[in-house]
Amino acid sequence: MSDQPLSLAIRDWQAAIGDQFVVVGDGIAQGYSNNVSQFTKEIPAVLKPASADEVQKIVAIANRYKIPVYPISCGKNWGLGSCLPVQDGNVIVDLRRMNRIHEVNIHYGYAVIEPGVTQEQLYLHLKENNLPLLMNVTGSGLQSSVIGNALERGIGYFSSRADTLSGIEVVLGNGDIVTSGFGHYPNSQVRYSSRHGIGPGLDGLFYQSNYGIVTSAGISLMPKKAAHITMIASLEAEVNLPHLVDKLAKLTRHGLIQSITHIGNRNRTEITLCPLIFENLRSQDPDKSNEEILSETKRIFELGGFTSWSAVAGIQGTKGYLKNIRRDICQALRGIAKVKFIDDSALSLAQTLTKLSSILPSSKRHKALLYAIKPLYELSKGIPTDAALKSVYWPIEGPDGLQSQDPDQSSSGLLYCLPFVPLSGSVAQSVISRTETVLKTFEFIPYVTLNIIDSKVLECVISIAFDRRNPERIQAAHECISQLEDDLIAEGHFPYRVGIQSMPKVVSGGDTFWQTVRALKNVLDPNNIIAPGRYNLK
């Protein structure tokens, strides 16, 4: 990229959005280049618009000087690239200043938000205004973007977010603004209550694409139900994992479980709960050494009864409905898994009993375990948390990493492989076996969650942890994930979402599908200035 066009573009961007919102130089590395996956990309500048009008101006200038730009919502795409573009030389368009909640409609159950609105922001808005609505949260953290995750087809605790957006407003690469569904009619009364309008549906063009920059959208919310329980099913024997998956699949197909069911292996459960147990023990005994508390943490986890696989699902409805569901789930899983149910009253009672029995040696253990479980239980109630992020630091840094606030600034490395597979116990077991074989070759521990997202499909969330301070482990981690993706793709198990390094694995010039995607790019972004190479041939 020639310095002169870039210099001229930066000058014009400074005039369009203000000098203080155009970042060049040292500020880029700390805030944008550092990433938990240890990828490297050249980023010449960062732009921070505050409105759709400013985004339009940015795109117009980018077209004028043929400078590619890469939009991020909040940049929390951890394990898949974080803030980084697919190609070098892209100017980042950081949409975090675009964080307005324009409307929350109680009657029709939606919110109209901008891409900078975070999970925490939307949750607090609902809570502080005492609105009877829930949001479909993910475990990705408080500061992750709601719209950004939905556009990546992220999976929440209640459903996939892929079908929750409506009235999507987009600044196209050619500079035009388009709104999907009925949104392009100024007086439409169903812009956000109906995804589909008249004529071809354009919504799908803006999921995992590089045609434009989304500046606002409606997102579906759920009504609060009268009662809530969380099911925890612990597998009795590891050999029965296929049976557990098939039984839970049947419960889903019959409508008895209507939310996402998360089935995590013991490794995943350990790195999720142990840092929280440790934190609580530290607060109870601030004078103890880390070694002593770590030993106690491991013992509490061992005594917690967590087996090779544990399934968790949140269920809502009337009290009578939940009573029947509990009975049906217990019957279905009898002999396969030990089933427990948690609700607010049970959690409150356990906390009260722990306080009353504080003089007993077991009190400390129960208190620490309750502290660890509570934020994860609350996820199934639509309450976002940063608690799960501590699992990023625990495998590499242990207690020393618990003060970290941002995975991208830590010493802990993270990479994901995310295949979609048929909802079948035997297929799930096959994928797990393949995963364990590949990761063992590269000396990595498999951290796996199997998410039943509907009656037909299972999402596999496979992650590895590595030390970003060790060049050999960085290389091994990248080779390991690449090998696992290759092996699973060869078996027909394609990822539904990939990191910036893996775009060539899923995009092929000989595929009519991707040829069509490129042809649309030529119309909507003829100068190829929006995120070149992102889920596209360009």
Output the CA–CA distances (angstroms, integers) from residue 325 to 27, 156, 315, 331, 341, in the order listed.
Answer: 53, 22, 9, 10, 11
Mean pLDDT over residues 260-289, rounded?
Answer: 94
State the Cα–Cα distance between residues 300 and 365, nearest whole angstrom.
6
Residues of CATH 3.30.465.10 domain(s) within the chain?
101-223
State the Cα–Cα distance between residues 234 and 298, nearest whole angstrom.
18
The distance of Cα 242 from the centroid of its chain, to the nearest Å, equals 26
Q: Give percent of the chain above pLDDT 90.
A: 86
Q: Count Cβ atoms below 10 Å from residue 424 Cβ, excluding itself.
A: 15
Give residue-wise pLDDT tens across range 409-445.
999 999 999 999 999 999 999 999 999 999 999 999 9
**Which residues, in sequence order, are CB contacts of 201 under 8 Å at separation 6+?**
180, 181, 195
Specify whether the CB–CB gap between 119 and 144 falls below 8 A. yes
The pLDDT score that the predictor gives to residue 339 is: 95
Continuous H helices in 179-265: 241-253
Is a pLDDT exceeding 70 seen at residue 128? yes
State the Cα–Cα distance between residues 470 and 86, nearest whole angstrom.
24
CATH class held by domain 101-223: alpha beta
Residues of CATH 3.40.462.10 domain(s) within the chain?
411-499
Q: Per the structure block, which two tokens stand in for 214? A: 């989304």
Mean pLDDT over residues 182-186, rounded?
Answer: 94
Is a pLDDT exceeding 60 seen at residue 236? yes
Q: What is the CATH number of domain 411-499?
A: 3.40.462.10
Is a pLDDT exceeding 80 seen at residue 27? no
Give 116's pLDDT tier (boundaries 50, 70, 90). Answer: very high
Backbone CA torsion sign across 8, 10, 16, 19: negative
Give residue-wise pLDDT tens across range 438-485.
999 999 999 999 999 999 999 999 999 999 999 999 999 999 999 999
Q: What is the CATH number of domain 227-408?
A: 3.40.462
- Maximum distance among all Cα pairs of the chain, rounded to whole angstroms: 72
Helices and strands (H, E) in the chain, number of each type = 16, 19
Output the CA–CA distances (angstroms, integers) from residue 70 to 7, 13, 90, 158, 436, in the order listed.
Answer: 18, 15, 6, 30, 35
Is a pLDDT exceeding 80 seen at residue 509? yes
Closest CA to 141 of 383, 437, 369, 313: 383
> Which residues is 178 bridged to in the sheet?
170
The pLDDT score that the predictor gives to residue 1 is: 52
Tokens 């799908």 belong to residue: 204
